Structure 1
């Protein structure tokens, strides 16, 4: 699905580590490697080249911890949490995906936070009615659902390829990425109240989350209803692992399945994400880091399902939690007469609904449902949903079936005998919470996973993939749901779930993972710091409000306010050993030089190949493109607008200038790649490769910290130098002793080899790092000094919000506190 598009020619390609070289050779997605099943999952063959490559790679990703049993949750009382934040919640998906986050947002409001929910435009009313702020990120969820129904797996069908669905989806993702960034710094589109995010909560399909958090330097917390973190306990819900005749441990294969999904997703959208990152002045994410990025960065993650249904896997570290399903407060609802009458005139019906799923042939599905209801001998309430099941009026005469529009599940599920639906996490949770046996008819995504979980708990039959749905198997499933065994299992699950507080637990986990000390303003402790200001030798972290109070009282000049980054995110390639590290860095440098050299010739040719006559759409007419234009007329025909001779001369002059500029950029790119590669990238790769070498045979390597600028680079260089010499010479003694203690004489001999290797690697890394790390930091400093557009927009938005808080808020007490604190500091 990939291919690099929309990336300007002067963007350096991402560095190639050995992982990247292996992954790029693992482009085998044919039937021998993987096949798409009817339920949308991917059959991954453990004998395939793809699996073998990913299998080697997966163990190289650092694990934050592994445990014999799940680590206990940290006790955290959110009532003691005083910090009030601007939180943006970014959600991509259907109404069922959005609704749980509305419940979360309302709970965050109760803790004093300002909450903005950023999602698709169609949910604006749904969000605002709950009391949350709303920001549109674009994208059409109905179109997205239709695409997913046609392409339930990771690979598009030929029908979708012919229809151009892939390009439409990529365009939609680009729109969503832009919308997510705007949701972080733009004012409310209705009230015009300024807003700058101080923390982000997101579901993984929103894609923009990590990159927005990196640009802003703020905390990120991911939440989802579907397993997205690698574990040995079960495979990724989108993967069906073919373990036939395989000697590979199941736990290892399960971990590989998560990397497989992430890698295939990155192959399809990585270029779109990197093109967008350039707009934020962020460097491209290397192919080796794109997959599993959240795991390698240790991003906190909360899974919104009941631990009674799926316990937390033993190998998930403490910053990953399972909190319980999210349920909003039951809405006040009075059923219309037709629903109330239907419920009163017979035994409890079975609910059937597929929510936001956009079905290709709703009439065919309606026929299947009606025949199944008749064969099972039950009554049914069928939700029309986005597919408008039941059409207009043809089925309204059936006394045992009622077609309905929108109706809150929280109310309706109390009055039905069982539920049949697509297996969305929210609908599944609501049915089980009310003790209703459940039949899942999955279409795509995590729906087969939830169907399997319900069946494993005994609360429903095995899921029926929608492509295999018939009136016979659906009738049998309905009959199963009415058995005593299914009812007892569903009621048992419901009792356990009612004792859980999923939303409150999620807020507790969100608060527990926040770096409160780094976030807090030094004066107004309940507000997040946005600026750094140095008063003499005393550094201060100032909130937007505190800073603006000091600016308006003429105690601080605004030019002396520096943007504060409470949670920096650095995405650098992971290096495994000095040989592959330097080789991959050299390959990346050479590739950049070759591309830049070709640009010296290709760019001028591209300029002169622009058409100067012909017809085009008026929307493409710009000041630097003076070609004839095709002007649509009222009758639908077109009119050609011909340029004057003087305009043609001007166009040729502009083309000549563009050609020269393009050629010059190629020359500049050549020297940029050469000098950066030789003096920054390759020394850094060798240093990191040497430092990481002991990991290859189970050795320990110290963390050295993040490099964000020259100062942090120099600090890291000093630390690595000291650690390298101390640990290197210590290992000469420690490793033989450890080996002898664990394995006897043979272990001692191995320990001598390990100790000697460690000494050479760590000492060499320490010495080489004295040059490499400061150079790397200096390169980042220069890049930041050149690319300032995003920083300026963030600073401007923070100032605007600070001014709004001073002019529109009741800040008398805060003003007195800020001025008194600052005056005492001066004295």
Structure 2
């Protein structure tokens, strides 16, 4: 097919951005011109992928470390807390994001967007270009499991599960609707969307193609999904130059496999107290550790190396277990490594991924961050490193994930879609990715 200018729009943390850089890398290697729209904090990811970058003027790590971000992190993972945090944390920046997205997509032949980059959908509708949603967590309604915002991830029955997705969509839409509809009418020349599930209803009306960048080993495809929703496998960025710092390589090589502990973009309210809890828990479990933190604030010891950053693809396979926050990207990398996971979720989708890890038998039950303590973490780590069955199950999950090529599958789907006269927003047409 002819080369195209494709814009991929997202927002949020590194974990919300790196999968889309990987997808852009795959499309670029197939001859397309790709632009990634994301927080200015992650321009380097576009550089690794070899694609163009359009920055959104927000420093996400700095925002999460600020007062409002800390209150959001401490609220927990339920729907009400997520919406409250979204309203206070994201809504004030909405107009800025909308304007930037419109500029970034001005010359696009096609637009791919995440749920955090959904402003791009409206630009596609206004410009009459095809749009496709690409997500790293299951958001399409189903009766197989509840919305990722349901606390504890417990099943509500088929009807209850499906209704939970609708409720989550409506709750988030209610928060965004005033700003989105004002933008549609005053800047894009579009009609406002209805009050009930406006954006989600538009996606369903348009048969909006939906690519899901995770493994069906981790979340199987529900039997009630439409054919235009497809699971591709994870989108991993190919970054062969990412090597460990000499200090990290030396520490890992000088003793038994350590346990990695890192919470990604999540910033604990009291980093020193959290580090002390982790240090004592690892000692009680009888393991060495690598802790992702600020070495200027947290001191290393012979049994605990503190690092500012670490390449997951190099480090995780060399660990005895990975303790992490349950972000989609970190969960993907840790499961691919084939080692047990201990998930310490903070909010939003992280409890969902923690429940999936436990359901796969690749880790113990999650330890929610507000409940983090020395005994809880020590017990979870001891189980992760001492349970041979858990290690075997984690290794099996990793083997299956490594056998997949999610980027290639997603690119094939996208090219099939683009080559077949794809529908554009607002113009209904059945599309099934040819499956």
Matched ranges for 1:495-574 at <5 A: 495-514=399-418, 516=419, 518=421, 567=424, 569=426
- What is the TM-score when the length of structure 1 is the normalising length? 0.49
**1:135 corresponds to 2:47:** no
Check conservation: 1:139, 1:173, Cα contact below 8 A: no
- Aligned partners of 1:470, 1:254: CA distance in 2, in Å? 32
SS of residue paired to 1:413: helix
Change in CA separation of 1:410 and 1:137 when aligned onto 2, cut-off 3 Å: same
- Aligned partners of 2:154, 2:144: CA distance in 1, in Å? 15
- Aligned partners of 1:243, 1:168: CA distance in 2, in Å? 27
SS of residue paired to 1:262: helix
What's 2:221 paired with?
Answer: 312
What's 2:433 paired with?
Answer: none
Match 1:260 to one of 144, 150, 167 = 167
Displacement of 1:138: 2.5
Change in CA separation of 1:282 and 1:151 when aligned onto 2, cut-off 3 Å: farther
What's 2:113 paired with?
Answer: 202
Displacement of 1:474: 0.6
Change in CA separation of 1:166 and 1:449 when aligned onto 2, cut-off 3 Å: closer
**1:251 corresponds to 2:158:** yes
- Aligned partners of 1:309, 1:361: CA distance in 2, in Å? 33
- Aligned partners of 1:376, 1:435: CA distance in 2, in Å? 21
Task: Count the aligned residue pairs.
Answer: 420
What's 1:383 paired with?
Answer: 292
Displacement of 1:496: 1.0
What's 1:339 paired with?
Answer: 248
- Aligned partners of 2:139, 2:75: CA distance in 1, in Å? 20
SS of residue paired to 1:214: helix
What's 1:738 paired with?
Answer: none
Change in CA separation of 1:570 and 1:270 when aligned onto 2, cut-off 3 Å: farther
Match 2:330 to one of 427, 447, 450 = 427
Displacement of 1:369: 0.5
Match 1:182 to one of 93, 97, 103 = 103
- Aligned partners of 1:168, 1:443: CA distance in 2, in Å? 16
Unaligned segments of structure 1, at least 5 residues: 1-81, 186-195, 520-565, 572-702, 704-827
Check conservation: 1:170, 1:269, Cα contact below 8 A: yes
Instruction: Describe the superposition over 1:256-280 as per-residue Cα deviations: whole angstroms up to 9, x where unpaired.
Output: 1011111111111110111221211
Check conservation: 1:137, 1:183, Cα contact below 8 A: no
What's 2:316 paired with?
Answer: 413
Displacement of 1:334: 3.7
Match 1:489 to one of 393, 398, 423 = 393
Change in CA separation of 1:263 and 1:334 when aligned onto 2, cut-off 3 Å: closer
Match 2:90 to one of 159, 169, 172 = 169
Unaligned segments of structure 2, at least 5 residues: 430-435
SS of residue paired to 2:80: coil
- Aligned partners of 1:242, 1:303: CA distance in 2, in Å? 19
Q: Which has the higher contact order (CA 8 A, sep 6+)?
A: 2
Check conservation: 1:330, 1:410, Cα contact below 8 A: no
Change in CA separation of 1:243 and 1:108 when aligned onto 2, cut-off 3 Å: closer
SS of residue paired to 1:256: helix
Instruction: Describe the superposition over 1:547-584 as per-residue Cα deviations: whole angstroms up to 9, x where unpaired.
Output: xxxxxxxxxxxxxxxxxxx735159xxxxxxxxxxxxx
- What is the TM-score when the length of structure 2 is the normalising length? 0.91
Match 2:192 to one of 284, 290, 297 = 284
Change in CA separation of 1:199 and 1:117 when aligned onto 2, cut-off 3 Å: same
Check conservation: 1:94, 1:145, Cα contact below 8 A: no
What's 1:537 paired with?
Answer: none
Displacement of 1:518: 3.7
- Aligned partners of 2:87, 2:144: CA distance in 1, in Å? 33
Displacement of 1:200: 0.7
- Aligned partners of 2:360, 2:81: CA distance in 1, in Å? 33
Check conservation: 1:137, 1:178, Cα contact below 8 A: no
Match 2:137 to one of 210, 217, 226 = 226
- Aligned partners of 1:285, 1:468: CA distance in 2, in Å? 41
Check conservation: 2:24, 2:51, Cα contact below 8 A: yes
- Aligned partners of 1:432, 1:242: CA distance in 2, in Å? 19
What's 2:349 paired with?
Answer: 446
- Aligned partners of 2:375, 2:62: CA distance in 1, in Å? 31
Displacement of 1:143: 5.2
Instruction: Describe the superposition over 1:120-141 as per-residue Cα deviations: whole angstroms up to 9, x where unpaired.
Output: 1111233123311000122332
Matched ranges for 1:54-73 at <5 A: none
Match 1:399 to one of 302, 312, 320 = 302
- Aligned partners of 1:500, 1:166: CA distance in 2, in Å? 37
Displacement of 1:310: 1.6
**1:149 corresponds to 2:80:** no
SS of residue paired to 1:355: coil
SS of residue paired to 1:314: coil
Change in CA separation of 1:128 and 1:154 when aligned onto 2, cut-off 3 Å: same
From the CA coordinates, give the structure whose radius of gyration is larger: 1
- Aligned partners of 1:166, 1:197: CA distance in 2, in Å? 30
Check conservation: 2:212, 2:231, Cα contact below 8 A: yes
What's 2:277 paired with?
Answer: 368
- Aligned partners of 1:154, 1:320: CA distance in 2, in Å? 24
Displacement of 1:150: 3.6
Aligned alpha-carbon RMSD (Å) = 2.4
What's 1:611 paired with?
Answer: none
- Aligned partners of 2:87, 2:402: CA distance in 1, in Å? 42
SS of residue paired to 1:115: strand
- Aligned partners of 1:284, 1:292: CA distance in 2, in Å? 14
SS of residue paired to 2:17: helix
What's 1:798 paired with?
Answer: none
Check conservation: 2:131, 2:425, Cα contact below 8 A: no
- Aligned partners of 1:96, 1:243: CA distance in 2, in Å? 25
